[in-house]
Structure 1
């Protein structure tokens, strides 16, 4: 028989109450208590078996878990929305380097030449100085890396390593990429700051202070070279893994991605840390997609060889097929799509379990999108129309700076791979041709085709930029309402899917386990915080807002 002297306790938890630990100084005392539920233990095997087979009680709290399940299932859609939006932002910033920057560089050089020939006292504005410096960094980095970055030598040197060494290389290059992105953003900000660019004037005398722009320029060039070299080794390692005959290295690469889940899901996260992880995933998704596209294009050129026929005006190999059993396109893109799908699944699982264990609702990703849209709307030329005198020197989108997107190193990487691929196509197609006027006509066709492609990318950049600004402007209407709704994801939020009885039980259990009587007397060593700040949980310190965070703002360990 079961007697109920009061309200029922939490059904799926033990009925015995939790009593606090007695003080250390007092002897152990056994306090009498009156339990809320008294269970008559079975005294025989038959009574025990009857209780097991004929029990009719049911845990009603299980119905509350549906919110957890629904949130878990809605995370893939929520994370893909912001990842696709962030991918478009990175693509827009990447196209800016190859489309808008050359035009701005030409305008800046024309204005500089005009002022020199006319001997006018009008100097260049800071924005045009930044365009010239950024273009010079690109040109110098490519010129330095062309003799050093031999793709064939790097490929065979990595391919000759053991599997275990390649696993170490993958992880070392990933860490080096993040470290370079972090320090590189600071170096470029120092070079393109207003105070540094104002020193670039012929009216100033040469001194140690005026040589600061030269120092930052050299430092930025070295950073771009180093980061582009790291990205080149990453791309080559990825190419080695994809081209492995037994797919052992490819399996190793995919398993290395799933290690991300182990390092993320069983940790305490707040939504500001989740925002930084989301920014890192956006940049990683774009960088990986760009590298995989470069690997697929290079393998397509190498496997086609002399099958490229330019006489009919179609720049495709003759054996190009569509998803047939042994076609070239299937051979090349099968491992590429495998890596992409594994990256997508890893992102889904990682964010789904992080939000589940930390009781964060999917609405937080809408707030993340609002932050990126706010940067996009205020950092663009249209958003700064009323404050033109105080516009940013860096004409790349402000949102790319928040994401930690390395636009310059990626541009150098693509320029290197593109030049090597063009040389490979030119050499393979010219083997059957001797020196003749046909070669000159073919080169003219290549130049015209390149200019046509560049013009198409300019149009694509303008269309993407206009649509991004329009989308960001439309979202600003509901930002305040979404910010108010996102209060449920702030610090101190209620757990998801837990009833009142379960929360009371967990709170009492935590109070029992965290009893200060069991702690030693706190002492403060040299350089440590005082005990008053050590046990207050850090609540006196103001928590940063999402608008104040970037990818590399150190709030808490995020990797």
Structure 2
């Protein structure tokens, strides 16, 4: 016979020690115990499990909402980038003509004309100076280095697209401040010129130096990426994708890595460094903007690598299919990392998937406001401040590498058609998002779209 504490007398008073007596009562039989364990019923807590299921569904909805935001931000970066390649040269030529005409009349240029003239000078100067760099020699210099040296070298450059973004903060955030200082110095009212510490020429020289250094750094990164993709040994490509390969695997004598499949060694340090951090909505917006900029940066670099390689192989179709496999592998790795990273960040910080719609609406308002007659800035400058994307260095690199793979007229026409089509698509989508937001405001269910951008700090 089994004995247990009686339920009726188990909850005894703690104040009277004399009553703390164990009262044994006969318990159920073993068969009854087993029957109760096997057939015992229970009811799930409705609210608790409903919340868990909602979190589960939201976890898999994050990638779709993220890609909507990233896709729209990517198109905005492409639009600003193509504006530099197509509209800026035309506006620069017109501004130069207006400058000559107004110098005879002793009149100043309009602020927009002065900005176009200075941007054109910076882009033209960077292109001419970057054209002096022999990319073929640079490729062979990088290729002749050992994998260990290239690993260290790429880690220095790979700070650009990684979450910490030390180099990117230096060359993008501070660089955008340099460009903004140049434009304001050229257009500020005369009564405020006493606050200047540097003249216009000094600001122009600093802006040219920044864009040139940033362009050279991106050129080095593209060259290293080209070496990794075109190499027979895919170890360097593995390092660039994982960025966390143990030094103990290296063969110190030869300085080479074993031949490994890139997929099998992906360790994704980005996840380890970002998933378990504390994030607010504004911090998540900054991270999402960084992912947009990173995605576009990689696409441009891979485009440069493909065109350079195809030119060396006389545009053979077999080489193109070989290149596309590695390029798609790099992009797929970036996309998968972004999905997992944002899914877990939103889960651990209890952030709803609807926040990405707020971010998307914020980008739409930026684009719509830039088309007003009283717009305070150009759309490209708004994209630079909101997403942290500076198109001038990348544009100079593309002009250096991709400007003449075919006839100049065909290239300009293709860039211009792509620019016009992108701008129309973006404007249509922006108007639709703004109208949806205004309708939700009237219905009293509007999310807060006053989300600060990465440069709003």
- TM bucket (normalised to shorter chain) is 0.7 to 0.9
Q: How does 1:141-540 map to 2 (within 5 A)?
A: 141-147=126-132, 149-173=133-157, 174=160, 175-193=166-184, 196-198=186-188, 209=196, 212-256=199-243, 258-304=268-314, 317=315, 319-320=316-317, 327-380=318-371, 384-385=372-373, 387=374, 391-392=375-376, 394=378, 396=380, 398-418=382-402, 422=404, 449-479=407-437, 485=445
1:182: how far off?
1.1
Distance 1:46 1:398, change over 3 A: same
Distance 1:210 1:397, change over 3 A: closer
Correspondence for 1:76 among 58, 63, 70: 63
Q: Which structure carries more helix by proportion?
A: 2
1:486: how far off?
6.8
1:226: how far off?
1.1
Distance 1:474 1:246, change over 3 A: same
Match of 2:163 in 1: none
1:287: how far off?
0.8
Match of 1:102 in 2: 89
Distance 1:191 1:552, change over 3 A: same
Match of 2:105 in 1: 120
Give yes or no for contact 1:87–1:283 (8 Å, CA) kept in 2.
yes
The two structures have a TM-score, normalised by structure 2, of 0.79
Correspondence for 1:137 among 102, 109, 122: 122
1:4: how far off?
9.1
List runs of 5+ in structure 1 lacking aligned partners.
Answer: 6-29, 33-39, 305-316, 321-326, 426-445, 488-544, 555-559
Give yes or no for contact 1:68–1:356 (8 Å, CA) kept in 2.
yes
Distance 1:98 1:3 in 2: 85
State the Cα RMSD in Å.
Answer: 3.4
1:99: how far off?
0.9
1:485: how far off?
4.7
Distance 2:6 2:179 in 1: 73
Aligned length: 406
Give yes or no for contact 1:176–1:230 (8 Å, CA) kept in 2.
no
Three-state SS of the structure 1 residue aligned to 2:125 is helix
Distance 1:63 1:126, change over 3 A: closer
Once the two structures are superposed, residues 485-518 of structure 1 have per-residue CA deviations (whole angstroms, 9 ceiling, x without a partner) of: 576xxxxxxxxxxxxxxxxxxxxxxxxxxxxxxx
Give yes or no for contact 1:192–1:394 (8 Å, CA) kept in 2.
no
List runs of 5+ in structure 2 lacking aligned partners.
Answer: 9-13, 17-24, 161-165, 244-266
Distance 2:287 2:5 in 1: 51
Match of 1:539 in 2: none
1:215: how far off?
1.6
The two structures have a TM-score, normalised by structure 1, of 0.65
Once the two structures are superposed, residues 266-315 of structure 1 have per-residue CA deviations (whole angstroms, 9 ceiling, x without a partner) of: 111111111000111111111101111111111111123xxxxxxxxxxx
Distance 1:417 1:251, change over 3 A: same
1:331: how far off?
1.1
Give yes or no for contact 2:70–2:292 (8 Å, CA) kept in 1.
yes
Distance 1:52 1:154 in 2: 74
Once the two structures are superposed, residues 299-335 of structure 1 have per-residue CA deviations (whole angstroms, 9 ceiling, x without a partner) of: 111123xxxxxxxxxxxx4x42xxxxxx322212110
1:172: how far off?
2.0
Distance 1:198 1:64 in 2: 55
1:198: how far off?
4.1
Match of 1:308 in 2: none
Give yes or no for contact 1:376–1:472 (8 Å, CA) kept in 2.
yes
1:370: how far off?
0.6
Give yes or no for contact 1:146–1:416 (8 Å, CA) kept in 2.
yes
Three-state SS of the structure 1 residue aligned to 2:107 is coil
Distance 1:55 1:230, change over 3 A: farther
Distance 1:125 1:276 in 2: 34
Match of 2:255 in 1: none
Three-state SS of the structure 2 residue aligned to 1:359 is coil
1:62: how far off?
4.0
Give yes or no for contact 1:376–1:397 (8 Å, CA) kept in 2.
no
Distance 1:260 1:546, change over 3 A: farther
